[in-house]
Structure 1
């Protein structure tokens, strides 16, 4: 067995709006540990807090792997907005001096994409709190469709589903819309006795966007109870997501696989089932989480080849740690 001095180590970070994950592995793909921290979205959280979260996670995984950061061959940080100049400048200022050529960073869609393609070209279709389709072609060209935020886009996202469901409940209460099981589910979820009381919970929440995104689970429940309106919302969401992927594919002019990611598509939801049924493109359901995709990015950008044996080791060891 190789000693730490003979091994190459890689750290991958998958930054998210609700939590951040970091993992460390050796050159064989053996994942040593996975750590979780607070949100690290620099577009919605002060940079000082984001920087502290990222540095703490790097320290944590190095300590748990019993190595020094000097022994790490590549650190990849996937963050929302990392393709924007002001975010890149912040990351450089925080990490470039210490990590120099060992530092790599990119938008957080890359870990999600690589969790399904293992570093190869493809399209990632994300439906979580928001929604977006992003492509990385065989020539390294990038395309994006959607991702314009909850005011101007996010079609087919958890927020979009939750918002439309809440609106349907209020329309039914007014007498403008059809009765729906969603009413009972919303009242029970928020512990209120009338739809009118929902307003205080939704508008008064510190993060109403996240509050409504969580409510998308109620649409799933209602649809499984054969509620006509909820099933209509599921169909609309799936159609919107397929449109994102189709449009992105047209831009690439390549037959690329589409990787499904984000909370709405990562699980066996009715939305995912509908997308799979309607998709006319090859779909990949990742076997690993995006933080493993971040490790793939760290390895490939540091010049280390991720062959099938490395991928299998990442898959097995990473999955075992995630289940703990």
Structure 2
């Protein structure tokens, strides 16, 4: 019996699946984050080895039985040089794990969980990233540069924008369009602080990106209770996400949109608040002339399956799979009505910090 594995690796946590020759999962397990920029390549390899060992034990597979292939679809794996370094580390440090590897970004695993020919994926979780994979193998990205250079539309970006708006308002540097009281109380509660000075260790010496980003969940709850500033932050995030999609659409090959739709795989916890993102998303998409509709889908299985498929395909093994079991359609953006109404002109923007008017928020509330 041959076994095939796949790992979905994020900054905060990871998941692993092992499938048999019929494509059925025989083991599923989870582990710590596997972004090598955060913990280093040797530690990533150790964490992957730990997950595989636990999964083998769960499936009743002897530890000395190597997987036929193992796909590693990990956050931070966008460069071929470091990907090859991780593969080498796995072979050298843990020779009993797998016979072959394929290492790629976490976005790639998402695409191939939903389609065998490619597509687009937009990750909006702790961080953010967008990737297009065409049927000919060409790939294009927008974002994915981390919190220092980007992460627009992510949980971190929403949390950081909230804190920046509060700081600037209290400093009288730039007054917020909306009352800051609710968000400021949430910030103090989340970080267990009383003053802005108490926050500085969390921004520098004790910076913990996943914890910092998790403030977003509290902001989402406040937005659901009609707090105007919180609502505006998600509206802004929706616009940012739309811009990343629009940036990649000129590179889409015809084969991907033969049905008239481009499937966009939506990954990450921020998408759970789609009802808060939707207005900003639609408002921004109306500014761009896109010649096909967008079908936003959510993965119903771990992206580890996509990584498993990729690794099996890389060694020309036809692992059975049913893609329709792997996703649900969340939203359909149709461009026909927008185009016939003359709203299809493109526009440009220098960032994602535009916030809707008070009237717009009032209507939502």
Say whether residues 1:15 and 2:4 are aligned partners: no
Taking structure 1 as the reference length, the TM-score comes to: 0.83
Give the secondary structure class of the aligned counterpart of 1:37. Answer: strand
Are the equivalent residues in 2 in contact too, given 1:81–1:87 (CA < 8 A)?
no
Output one character per residue of 1:138-194: Cα deviation in whole Å (capped at 9) or x when no partner: 111111111122222211111111011011222333353342221222222233344
Say whether residues 1:286 and 2:299 are aligned partners: yes
Unaligned runs of 5+ in 2: 286-292, 328-365
Instruction: Give, in angstroms, the shift of residue 308 of structure 1.
Output: 5.5
Are the equivalent residues in 1 in contact too, given 2:3–2:68 (CA < 8 A)?
yes
Are the equivalent residues in 1 in contact too, given 2:128–2:151 (CA < 8 A)?
yes
Question: What does 1:26-65 align with in structure 2 at a 5 Å threshold?
Answer: 26-65=20-59
Unaligned runs of 5+ in 1: 1-6, 316-324
- Which residue of 2 is the match for residue 236 of structure 1? 236
Output one character per residue of 1:261-290: Cα deviation in whole Å (capped at 9) or x when no partner: 12212x244445447756652211211122
Distance 1:157 1:310, change over 3 A: closer
1:303 pairs with 311, 316, 338, which one?
A: 316
1:77 pairs with 72, 77, 81, which one?
A: 72
Give the secondary structure class of the aligned counterpart of 1:155. Answer: coil
Alignment: residue pair count: 305
Distance 1:286 1:297, change over 3 A: same
- Which residue of 2 is the match for residue 223 of structure 1? 223
Taking structure 2 as the reference length, the TM-score comes to: 0.74
Give the whole-Å Cα distance in 2 for the aligned partners of 1:271 and 1:199: 29
Give the secondary structure class of the aligned counterpart of 1:171. Answer: helix
Output one character per residue of 1:29-67: Cα deviation in whole Å (capped at 9) or x when no partner: 321221222222112212221121112222222222122
Output one character per residue of 1:102-146: Cα deviation in whole Å (capped at 9) or x when no partner: 32222221122223x243310001112221110110111111111
Of structures 1 and 2, the one scoring higher in RCO (CA 8 A, sep 6+) is 1
- Which residue of 1 is the match for residue 264 of structure 2? 258
Give the whole-Å Cα distance in 2 for the aligned partners of 1:275 and 1:12: 35
Are the equivalent residues in 1 in contact too, given 2:159–2:216 (CA < 8 A)?
yes
Distance 1:91 1:174, change over 3 A: closer
RMSD of Structure 2 on Structure 1 (CA): 2.7
Which is helix-richer, 1 or 2? 1
Give the whole-Å Cα distance in 1 for the aligned partners of 2:61 and 2:321: 26
Give the secondary structure class of the aligned counterpart of 1:56. Answer: helix
Distance 1:293 1:204, change over 3 A: same
Question: What does 1:1-324 align with in structure 2 at a 5 Å threshold?
Answer: 7-68=1-62, 70=65, 72-96=67-91, 98=95, 102-115=100-113, 117-175=114-172, 176-177=175-176, 178-180=178-180, 181-207=182-208, 209-254=209-254, 255=257, 256-265=262-271, 267-274=272-279, 277=282, 281-305=294-318, 309=322, 312=325
Give the secondary structure class of the aligned counterpart of 1:258. Answer: strand
Give the whole-Å Cα distance in 2 for the aligned partners of 1:310 and 1:243: 28
Instruction: Give, in angstroms, the shift of residue 241 of structure 1.
Output: 0.5
Distance 1:135 1:148, change over 3 A: same
Give the whole-Å Cα distance in 2 for the aligned partners of 1:217 and 1:156: 14
Instruction: Give, in angstroms, the shift of residue 83 of structure 1.
Output: 4.2
